[in-house]
Amino acid sequence: VINGYSSRYMISRIFPGTVENIYKPYEIVETAVSPTAYVTGCDGFVYILDDKNLTIFNDKGNEKFSDILAFEEAYISGGETRVIVYDGPTGAYFIFEEGEQIYKGTVERTILGARMQLNGYVVFILKGRDGFLGSAEVLDDSNETIARYNYADRYPVSGCVMGDSGKIAVAGLYGNNTDKTGIDIFEEYNQVPIAGINRDYMMPLVMPLGDNAYIAVGSESLVVFDISGMELGVGEYNEIILLDETGNGCLMTDRKIGADKIFFIGLNGEVEWSYSAGLLVDGIEAGLRHSFFWSGINAVCLDDNGKVIDMQSGFDQVAGIADLGNGKIAVVTTRNLIFHEYH
């Protein structure tokens, strides 16, 4: 009972109706979350980072962890089973699994960005020093540093680990021409790249596509490469604003005037489906079973053919959707955390 009302009554008030109602709400937790909070989910837990406040719930709606982090600027990134929370200015970080902290440490450098990989590895992009413009550092799933790549000719912007292949991609913009991109491919523990490409345009974001390919993304273009640098697929878009990976491919949002379009790129580098959202998309989530996006007070679920199978509206403003695995998701709004189960 919350504020004198049962959870069942509150759920009936929050959900005025659905398309097919395949995701049934089963638990609600009253929260107070800002619209700009970071939300991620994995392995039965939802992680909410609101400024410096980190809260973790299990899929039964029970609070597992809550703390105000002693960070200057906190950020979060989730993989398949693990989550990293890090402090950009100081380089400190925590790694969580099953809602509990399993590692803590520091890279002793300013972190410009960090991303938890699906296999539990972490890629850091670090501010340069000692004559280098920047560095990329990779931790394995034992929290051991397996690589650090220092660049004197370019600013590294992103990096990724390609599945379980041991291949690592690092993308950077050249110091003498920041419109030009260089991407190197490394093997674990090897400082010399096994392959590399250069392009006379910006593709600063790289994400894995299976074990032996990756996606390089700019504001208007997306290119799929294999580890030798061969192009497997090319796409031109209006304005790429959102990208999320899954073990089966990549979910991407292209900004259109008044109505965004969502694409799913499969492991072969080809677009498997697209969906015209009909509105401006605030966020996307590439789940294990389905794909999700949200906008304002609306949350939408798409199947593996890009068809709407569930649409729910009437929420408070949605801050994020977390896929918890086992057919469960959590919709985080500015006032409530609502757990759903697939039927």
Pick from 16, 2, 8, 10: which is nearest to 297 by CA?
A: 16
Given this model, what pLDDT does residue 343 score? 85
Does an H or E element contain 10, and which?
Answer: helix 7-14
Residue 9: what pLDDT? 45
pLDDT score at 11:
45
pTM given for the model? 0.92
pLDDT of 13 reads 47
pLDDT in tens, the chain (343 residues): 444 445 444 444 444 444 456 899 999 999 999 999 999 999 999 999 999 999 999 999 999 999 999 999 999 999 999 999 999 999 999 999 999 999 999 999 999 999 999 999 999 999 999 999 999 999 999 999 999 999 999 999 999 999 888 899 999 999 999 999 999 999 988 999 999 999 999 999 999 998 999 999 999 999 999 999 999 999 999 999 999 998 889 999 999 887 899 999 998 889 999 999 989 999 999 998 899 999 999 999 999 999 999 888 888 999 999 999 999 999 999 999 999 999 8
* Cα→Cα distances 20→9, 87, 312, 343, Å: 20, 42, 9, 11
Instruction: Please give the span between the terminal C-alpha atoms of the chain, in angstroms, as a whole number.
Output: 25
Which pLDDT score is estimated for 126?
98
Separation between Cα atoms, residue 180 and residue 63, nearest integer Å? 46
Q: What is the pLDDT of residue 20?
A: 55
3-state secondary structure of 45: strand
Residues 6+ apart with CB under 8 A from 55: 31, 47, 48, 63, 65, 66
State residue 187 phi and psi, 5-degree precision.
-100, 155
Query: Residue 29: beta bridge partners?
Result: 337
